[in-house]
Structure 1
């Protein structure tokens, strides 16, 4: 059917996935606020990542972004199959979804130290092309946003020009991409430079999500919120362990796929109001926590931001600013652009 799905239908179908996105955004924020250090203290240093010299040492929570890529590929493939947008209309809606909030947070970081950033770097950040050009990012979590914009637009343009892709067996394509992403995760855990490529991580994650949706669409399945929740919990455990047990990173793509497979269409824990609130504000939380942390360090010095109480205050401030950013920037522009 060649019609655009109603926003209400879209939300009801993927409410669990929205809630997952919110929790993952919070984990990214907590990682930047020192989650690894706190876990190291709670576990007597065991979860500090001291048993491996790999890339993931002290950085395993960054795998949340790889989950984001898989989730985005899944949802974007669904949207494309339902609405059949043109490349231009899709690019416009995607731009209005991603660029405004990133611009606000980028300019907030720039305002803290305007002399530190050449105007060309600031402009490239605002145009969502800084990572593609190899330029530094003002709002560091935004590295994924460029690929979330550029790669799906390129994929939509290429899809009708590569008709053989649609004829690939869905199970075979999914298995291949699961193996590829598992290899990338292993490379990250073992500190291999090739696996740290942002372009590689984004491409494989988005393709895996798209392949997962195609197989999900053509396979009899029953949504199961409990299984989905357990799969996500397993993913969180894998991220916590990956710094000391690299094998956990290899299992991470399968955990992501299982969480989405059973979560799509389900209604459970992540459909509850608090997690739905986090889901609605996930993008704003993901972007806003960096300027909040930088401003705090700039105003009171870094040592004053240590400790549980200061970090909780930073979380509260981030939530408040994320709510304002969503209400005043994201929601109006998404309505105007016909997206959500």
Structure 2
């Protein structure tokens, strides 16, 4: 995500007021860069034997192994970010009685965002690492259509991490329907605060449903690494968690006095969330999180990890959604040039690092589960960042230039940011109104 300029101001349906341009949200981009580095380091540590695993017969490093193994919380962080960024416009529309975004532009932009760069990787991986395994047209179409997680033994070499992309695609396809259902349920309430509370109830149920599927997939009868473990069902809770944050952020912007108490506490003490995330991460690295091996965990440790990963991803991302702005140390940590660059090319880093791991081990003849962690990291990270940069400027960004073909949109993708207090200005009341109590004022209408 890298938008610095957005749409030209336009009139909003509810008020006739000229809406503010879409605003770039740098902290989310920095968090995406952090998550991309984490997922890459986890896979490098696994392949070099730093993380214990039966797959490679590696005993692992007792100190570095648990720390790097727990970095696979990066994928839940990606899911939470997706739920937050994509649902926030829907949440704002529901709270202010504005029309939701048109579906054709929505699906068009989602396809442009993920498919061109992914197809380049898929074509390269199939040609370079899987040529002998491609014996029919379906073997090519299946990964190109992101359906390779729904059949056993269908994961192409060099693309193993793209199972999570199938979860993202399923979310992209179902989000408009879910947003429509939440809106139908929420508009029965009169004011934004009540609407937000109605939206939060089913989202909480989805979080619990995802945990239920995680438990089901780790029953002893399912065996180790069942195919269903890669399906979206286990991970829907993380996406719903992001949607929950989107709802809380939206209501805090539209009607701050109606914001739930927990989110008001976060506004007053944003640093407490990151402290909690560090403590939860430490718990996940400890024996409480299980044996900390890259093996399929039994039911008990799996559910502990699931709960801790929900907690970590929630507490890391939540302060970045505050409509009154983020603390200076959070901006410094996540908005610096290095992390903003990594966030900009994070999709390419995610796509290419496993491919280069396989290339490295094939070229060097090193057995998997062995190798120098730092040497492999330098080689794989270097190749991945260079390729990701080329992918961004030669594939992803040119694809983004097609975004305006179906509806007005900025050329660059970006997350809509809540306005800070200094950016807020008086505005007409939204269509949703109520009688204010003494001392209360009408909420400002958010920019879209």
Give the TM-score band, short-chain normalised. Answer: 0.7 to 0.9
Partner of 2:140: 122
Partner of 1:322: 388
* Structure 2 length-normalised TM: 0.63
Q: Specify every segment of 5 or more residues in structure 1 that has no aligned partner in the other structure, as ranges.
A: 50-57
Structure number with greater Rg is 2
Shift of 1:212: 2.6
Partner of 1:104: 120
CA RMSD of aligned residues (A): 3.5
1:147-226 equivalences under 5 Å are 147-160=167-180, 163-166=183-186, 169-173=198-202, 175-181=204-210, 193=222, 196-218=229-251, 219=259, 220=264, 222=267, 226=271
Evaluate the alpha carbon distance shift between residue 184 and residue 253 of structure 1 in structure 2; reply closer, same or farther with a 3 A threshold.
farther
Shift of 1:335: 3.0
- The structure richer in helix per residue is 1
Matching of residue 78 in structure 1 with residue 88 in structure 2:
yes
Work out the CA distance in 2 between the residues paired with 1:335 and 1:224.
40
Q: Specify every segment of 5 or more residues in structure 2 that has no aligned partner in the other structure, as ranges.
A: 1-11, 53-57, 94-99, 187-194, 252-258, 293-300, 404-408, 414-448
1:96-126 alpha-carbon deviations (Å, 9 max, x no partner) = 1011111111112112131213431221211
Evaluate the alpha carbon distance shift between residue 136 and residue 311 of structure 1 in structure 2; reply closer, same or farther with a 3 A threshold.
same
Work out the CA distance in 2 between the residues paired with 1:100 and 1:128.
12
* Structure 1 length-normalised TM: 0.81
1:1-340 equivalences under 5 Å are 1=12, 6-7=21-22, 9=23, 11-12=24-25, 15-34=26-45, 37-38=49-50, 45=62, 60-81=70-91, 84-112=100-128, 113-118=130-135, 119-132=137-150, 136-138=154-156, 139-160=159-180, 163-166=183-186, 169-173=198-202, 175-181=204-210, 193=222, 196-218=229-251, 219=259, 220=264, 222=267, 226-234=271-279, 236-241=281-286, 242-244=289-291, 246=301, 247-265=304-322, 266=326, 267-303=331-367, 306-307=371-372, 308-337=374-403, 338=409, 340=413
Q: How many residues align?
A: 328
Farther off after superposition, 146-155 or 300-309: 300-309
Shift of 1:239: 4.8
